[in-house]
Structure 1
């Protein structure tokens, strides 16, 4: 039922924002978005440079935790499919914040997952591992994908398949220094470290070559979520976003 509600909400959203989609008839593909929208998503990542990545054990905690992150200053938010009723929450926040906060979906593992997320209003697609079929599906439709990669080889392969941003997941022991070394050797990459990034080192990752960062547990502290301490999450968000803003925008790779 929740899935159907999410799709219905997304359908209404697509009608009111039809400019985001190109004509499927001319391309022969479904869910095609405009090049302008694709560029807008990448420009937002380059400007804001930090994404709130949320997974909660209960559906009830999800919107409250994400609202706290937004209240604390986050302008890019990722709902993950491991969260109960993820697509409904995604659709609700997309409708509420369209044009003000960019909303995406993570833990995408299949093309069907990606299609359902786009139908619910997702503006970008995040995968935990490097999935060429999902990357190429997104590329054909002008949808920004950010695939999870662990090694320099995976990062390069994701780039070659068409991913404009490459998610470094999980965080590596080398930290910001690892990102600096890889970014220096492979300057065409746009790396998004997620996991291993915390409230204090987010700025260091950016200073050392990361295009953007993803914040998971350090932002959505499991203890704070369990205690429903939404003020603590908002304070976490304000702290990390202050560190990120000090670094300034990212110069996109063309």
Structure 2
């Protein structure tokens, strides 16, 4: 039976990084999760376009009750139903799908919808987003986050795409409440070398960049 514990905002704020895992087999994901947890990172997302995503989410929920485990790339009602049935504690979308946002909010599950323009960001927030995933943030950069938050200062932004060890701190300085990180966090080099101790050190190094922004 899937652990029914709710998403922990306390754990999230202790390390406001959402690690995005995509297209990796379950055995590898379990090793990543172990290193992730030991490094003090607490919130991990499995994209629904990953093979056996539901099984991976359910297994992580069972084996790592100290992690917030969510589902990403949730684009359809079917994706959402599968994610919830697997025990996903939060939902991330790359787009604004009003039905998905409203359903997730009604279930009292945090949802981070993807949005790009100020209008989209405001719409996602108005629909009940817990934070708005500014995606893709790769080309927009830190200044965009700062510019959007000048008039929309009550909205919580979670930029995703293009976040690295070198710039992560600047996004928090600009006002982001968290970041989503994929390949720059889930290092393919460490994984391909089966170096999970090195991966853990990599996680710790990235987390150390934002120590002043964490809430213990």
The alignment's TM-score, normalised by the length of structure 2, stands at 0.90
Match of 1:48 among 4, 12, 15: 15
> CA-to-partner distance for each residue in 1:153-183, whole Å, 9 max, x for gaps?
1111101111121001111434222111111
1:63 matched residue in structure 2: 30
Distance in 1, matches of 2:118 and 2:10, equals: 24
Distance in 1, matches of 2:184 and 2:142, equals: 17
Give yes or no for contact 2:96–2:113 (8 Å, CA) kept in 1.
Answer: yes
1:125 CA drift (Å): 0.4
> CA-to-partner distance for each residue in 1:132-156, whole Å, 9 max, x for gaps?
1100111111111101111111111
Give yes or no for contact 2:138–2:163 (8 Å, CA) kept in 1.
Answer: no
Distance in 2, matches of 1:47 and 1:184, equals: 26
The alignment's TM-score, normalised by the length of structure 1, stands at 0.78
1:161 matched residue in structure 2: 127
2:2 matched residue in structure 1: 13
Determine which structure has more spread, i.e. the larger CA radius of gyration: 1
Distance in 2, matches of 1:189 and 1:108, equals: 22
1:232 CA drift (Å): 2.8
How many residues get paired? 216
Counterparts in 2 of 1:203 and 1:82: CA distance versus 1, 3 Å: same
Counterparts in 2 of 1:157 and 1:42: CA distance versus 1, 3 Å: farther
2:162 matched residue in structure 1: 196
Distance in 2, matches of 1:49 and 1:232, equals: 21
Distance in 2, matches of 1:155 and 1:43, equals: 24
Distance in 1, matches of 2:105 and 2:163, equals: 27
1:67 CA drift (Å): 2.5
1:25 matched residue in structure 2: none
1:43 CA drift (Å): 4.6
Give yes or no for contact 1:111–1:137 (8 Å, CA) kept in 2.
Answer: no
Q: Secondary structure at the match of 1:13?
A: coil
2:92 matched residue in structure 1: 126
1:77 matched residue in structure 2: 44
Residues 91-240 of structure 1 aligned to structure 2 (within 5 Å): 91-98=58-65, 100-240=66-206
Q: Secondary structure at the match of 1:193?
A: coil
Distance in 1, matches of 2:58 and 2:81, equals: 14
Question: What's the C-alpha RMSD, in Å, of the aligned pairs?
Answer: 2.0
